[in-house]
Amino acid sequence: MRLEGVELIRLRLPLLSPFRASVLTMEARDLLLLRVITRDGEGWGECGALPDPVYSEEYVEGAAHVLRTFLVPTLMQAGEITADAVAPLLARFKGHRMAKAALEMAVLDAELRARQMSLAAALGSTRDTVPCGVSVGMADSIPQLLDVVAGYLDQGYVRIKLKIEPGWDVEPVRAVRECFGDDVLLQVDANGAYTPADARLLARLDPFDLLLIEQPLDEDDLLGHAELARQLRTPICLDESITSARIAADAISLRACRIVNIKASRVGGYLEARRVHDVCRAHGVPVWCGDMIESGVGRAADLALAALPGFTLPGDTSASDRYFRTEITEPFLLVDGHLPVPTGPEIGVTPIPERVAELTVNRELID
């Protein structure tokens, strides 16, 4: 197909409550959506970048700039393209994986609409529903944290992930484990907040029988993670460090992790995310699907990805009402701790024009 135009849509989605991690506190999700226009219809993509370069070097305004200036013009000048051609065509531009992922997602969505095929079928998904965990931000106090966790367990979430940082780690984890028991699937996420010198501190988490410690060290410190893994009983999971299937293979070879969190936006798109999955599965490394506080557009695609056979741990693909006051698609509702994998053509959802208009900050058409 040939791209005739690409629309960049900036939205601001208020959160139900502030979300706090070691790298940021967020009260609303500033979001970049893409709509590609072809002769045969349209396709939608969502950029995972945050407003500031705190999770990775990418940020919303930067993603919009590189899309406008380099990525979109390259695809429009390429003539007839397919989704498989997007990554090779954009490879000469270094980095900017989240921007590339959003554009590939929109092209893939348009292609699948034309073929009347679901993303789940295209990726090779094997399940109709996906078990859902929830990511719990840092609270003002331990009693407040326990109230929040109790609410999510009452809603049916099957796994709890606690954000941690130095000074908010051992005691919150101890409190949650003592309050809710050993049967609750529990893990923690540091977003790179620790250093190799914190090994003894992190080892104090071993008695709590956690599923994993996610990204304890800086993203570029694979050797540090490998050394830390030798000192901890709790499995290390890598998130920010894994930016491609090749890096995943390196990390596994170095024994820097025993589990991998796959985020399509972080690795450059859903096609590369499937390759990361395949590498991990070939090495017997379990994976799960992370979340960038996406709208229903990104959530629908994430659910298709999380239904691949190697995703054996519950991910962060929470229901729409976990974060948002207003969802821009039909909401995803939790049923018995699971969300359904969309089975309709393309990613399975389309933004509702009235809701998009209500939340839009800026629209820009590139043609």
For residue 319, what are its two tokens?
Answer: 């229901």
% helix, strand, coil for the chain, step of 5 = 40, 25, 35
Catalytic residue selected from 94, 100, 161, 263:
263
> For residue 122, which phi and psi values (nearest 5 degrees)?
-65, -35
Q: Are 301 and 119 in contact (CB under 8 A)?
A: yes
Burial class from Cβ neighbours inside 10 Å (0-12, 13-18, 19+) for residue 255 reads: middle
Q: Are 263 and 290 in contact (CB under 8 A)?
A: yes
Q: How far is 110 from 106, CA to CA, in rounded Å?
A: 6
Q: How far is 99 from 45, CA to CA, in rounded Å?
A: 10
For residue 316, what are its two tokens?
Answer: 């962060």
Catalytic residue selected from 94, 100, 161, 163:
163
Whether 161 is catalytic is no
Distances (CA, A) of 318 to 114, 170, 224, 255, 335: 29, 25, 31, 30, 11
Q: How far is 87 from 100, CA to CA, in rounded Å?
A: 7
Q: Are 210 and 234 in contact (CB under 8 A)?
A: yes
- What's at 159, amino acid-wise? R
Length of the chain: 367
Whether 94 is catalytic is no
Closest CA to 297 of 28, 39, 48: 48
Which residue is associated with the tokens 């890096």?
Answer: 247
CA dihedral 72, 116, 320, 241 (to 10 degrees): -50
Q: Which residues are catalytic?
A: 163, 263
